[in-house]
Each structure stands twice: as structure tokens, then as C-alpha cells.
Amino acid sequence: MFAVTEQKPVVYYNYVGGEWTESSSKERLESYNPATGELVGCAQNSTVADVEQAIDAVYQAFQHSDWGCNPKRRYEALLGLAHKIEENLERLAVLLTCEQGKTIRESRLELAGCVDTLKYFAGAARAVFGRSIQLEPGNFGVIAKEPIGVVGIISPWNWPALLMIRELAPALAAGNAVLVKPASLTPAISVEIVKLIDEIPQFAKGIVSMVTGPGRSIGAAMGGSRKIDMISFTGDTSTGKTIMELATSNIKKLALELGGKSPNVVFEDARLDKAIPLIGRSIFISAGQICMAGSRLLVHEAVKDEVVSRLQDYAERLRVGNGLHESTDMGPVISQTQLDLIAEYCEIGRREGRIITGGYRLEGGDYDKGYFFAPTIIDDLPPSCRVVREEIFGPVLAVQTFSSEEEALALANDTDFGLSAGVWTSDVNRALRMSKGIKAGTVWINTYNKNFPEAEFGGYKQSGLGRTRGIDGLMEYCETKHIHFEIE
């Protein structure tokens, strides 16, 4: 559909056992800039045989290196990677924007998040504590935390750097070996980060491997492998369910961060000057392609007209365009397939509700080169509408109205998902009641999308299993062993 740039694209190889290797298929996996259609790079279109070779290499590295019992080495390796990313941040940010489409400002923030996460878990690598228990006279127990073994990480395309590092860092800090399968739409940024790992001598040879290629075959091979002890998957809920089925091959441990349909609940006493821009950003950041997007606006009837009017103004002022331009506020969506899906949901919204703004593909000039969709707000939708209930993964905000706190809580929980939520109120008692009542892994009060490596994140219901970040995120990648002494 689009012309390839005259500049020869970079060819990216698999990283297996500490060596750069070509896929046995000799085929390439091409990634394109969703803003311009230009070819960004060519990764390996790997086969099941390739991933099996990588699994063997990672398994051997775990068995024969001191990685799992050398926390100081792990600390130095992760800290070294943090520094490498800092040194290359602008170069990586440009590549991330070219490959994924997000704005250059978002790319810088994403990579800064990678650095912060690596620094946190570098320190955590030296603090994987167990405990001791005096069980009865002459009986003493040690509860030890040990690495699980080989961890397979399947990372997504929407925040491909941070969501890979978010799982890679604690898995390595806990002492595991890791095989990464990045998303097929964004392999280049992931391989470039692994290139930095290759430059750091503290990483045990082969302790990290990466294979690029189709998730349907490679992900299935990872899920079914008896040499992989745990799978960490970030992505859509339907694929997460498939991963769960595959994991029964050897009863793998799972960490799943899946879909969301997160509400921003705005009460009549909310500080709107603060709330409006943060609510707008929560749905239009990364063109809405983010799991914790605030894709549902639940607003009290007393302030609904003002809130919707101000959000409409916010949306219509956003500058949509090529993410490499510093003035761009929102880039394209990732692909034609995603664009078509978003348009389909907007047609449903047009039939069953009322489009406040947007609802169409942007066309003309440079827009015709990429996948640009107008920031969209839809009102007057019935609770059963698919636009209200399903994750769209696009810049589409569904508006719902409530008249009481009880109704607001019921609407917030009327979803299959439970990843995150925002509550906007000046009443601290109401904020506490809502935060305790909402069934979601994260509830932000008078803010949104604030994430820190030391604070756990994860979902209720069909938004996933387990937690990432924080102490619990580190413990996800550990086994617990009871060592019992009977003293004579």
C-alpha cells in the first residue's frame, strides 16, 4: 500500500544464547511507520524450530551460570542497562515513534519509565528476602525465595519498550533466565534494547534471548514448552485465555496483564480545571491504544453538560499528526486493521448513541499516508452497547451519566474488566468509599495514569492475573520453598 523509503532498512536478528542468529525460514518480518507507511526495519520471521532452539539455550544458561545465586551481578547488569538506555534515549525515542506512531514526547516518557523501572529492580535484586520461623521446640523453618527458572515474556506493541522492561526487569532481578517474544508490529525497538544488553558483560551469556515472529506459532510453542516454567503475557483478554490453556502443558505459572474498560468517575464537586485535561489525556494518549485508557466517562448529571463540552473542546484542540513533530499531541493508530476496527465501533456508536465529536478517519495531505483517526466522544449510549462494554483500543470515549454515588459505583463495576479507574471528588470520605468499592487493581483519586515501579499494578476479573511492579511484582517471579530443620 505504501512506498518503502529509499534508505536501506535495518535488518534485525534473533538473539539466542548470546549470539545474533538468522531464522531458519530466511524470511523477514517487516515493520512500517503507521504515520508515513515507510519501512522501519526487517526482523526475523522465525519458526517453531527457532524458538525451540532459543528455549534450549535459555534453559542451559540458567542451569550452568551463577545468575540465579548472584544478586550483586544481577544488580550491576540491570543498572548497566538503565544507564545504556539513558545514554541512547533520544535515538531509541525516535525509533519508537517511527515504529509505533506515538508522539516523540510519549516515546521519551516511555523510555524514561524503562530507566526508572530498571533502577528500581536493580536494587530489588539484592533484597529478595525470605523469612525464618521457630515452628516448635527443636523445629526451625526457613522460607526461601528462589528463581522460578525459565520465563517466557510475550510483550505488546502499544508500549513495546516499557511493557517489555516492566516484566524483564523483575524476572531477571529474581534470578530467572528469560526468553522474550516481542510484538510482530514493533520488533525493532525491542531488538535495539537487547543490543544494549549484549554490550553489558554482567549479563550471563544466554540468560536473555529474543526471538521475533508470529505470535500464533511462536507464542504457542512457548506456552506449550515443558522447559519454560512461567509465561508473562501482556495483551488482549482473548489471547490471554489461549495462553492459560497452553500453560496446562506443565502447569506453568502465569502473569497476565490483559484488557481494560476503565472508568473516570466525575462527581459534582470535582475540580474540573484539573480533571478535564487529565481525563482527556487518559483516553487520547497513544491514540487510546493503552490498556488502562480511561475509555468510559461516568459523570454526575449536575455537571455533565459542562464536562462534556469542555472535553469536546479538549479533543478538538488536539493536534493529530506525525509523532516526530514536537507539536503533535496524538499520533496515528498502529495499522489499517486497527483503524477499521475503531471505525466499526464508531458506526455502532452513531446508530445507538450520539457522536459529540470525531468518529471518522482523518484524510487529506499527509493524513492519507497513515492511519489517523479523529479523537472521538460518544454520548447517549445504552449500557448494553458494545462501545460501552468492549475494549476498543482507540481514541474513543463513551459517556454515561449518574445521579447518585450508588449508581456511579454500580456503573463503574458493570464491566467484565477491572484494570484501573479514576475518581474525581473533593469529598475524601466519598473518595475512600469509591476506591474500596470499585473492583479494579488501581484506583486513582483526583489524578489518572500515575504509575511507579514501586507501586503494584494489575487487574481484577478479566483484566488479568497477578501483579507487576513493586514487591508483589518481584515475588511473581519467585518460587517459595520451605526448608525444615529438626535440631537434635
Name the residues annotated as catalytic: 257
Strands 420-424 and 263-266: parallel
Q: What is the DSSP string of 400-430?
A: EEESSHHHHHHHHH-SSEESEEEEE-S-HHH
Cβ atoms within 10 A of the Cβ of 232, count?
Answer: 28
Rounded to the nearest 10°, the torsion over CA 293, 295, 296, 301 is 100
How many whole angstroms from its chain centre is CA 313? Answer: 29
- Quote the CA–CA distance of 469 and 437 in Å, as a whole number: 23
- Quote the CA–CA distance of 240 and 405 in Å, as a whole number: 33
- Quote the CA–CA distance of 401 and 388 in Å, as a whole number: 12
Length reported for the chain: 488
Q: Nearest Cα to 453, choosing from 473, 426, 433?
A: 473
DSSP state of 350: H
- Quote the CA–CA distance of 194 and 188 in Å, as a whole number: 10
Using alpha carbons, list the distances in angstroms from residue 100 to 91, 246, 283, 332, 369: 14, 29, 17, 9, 15
DSSP state of 280: H
Cross-strand bridge partners of residue 421:
443
Question: Residues near 445 by Cβ (< 8 Å), separated by ≥ 6?
Answer: 422, 423, 425, 431, 435
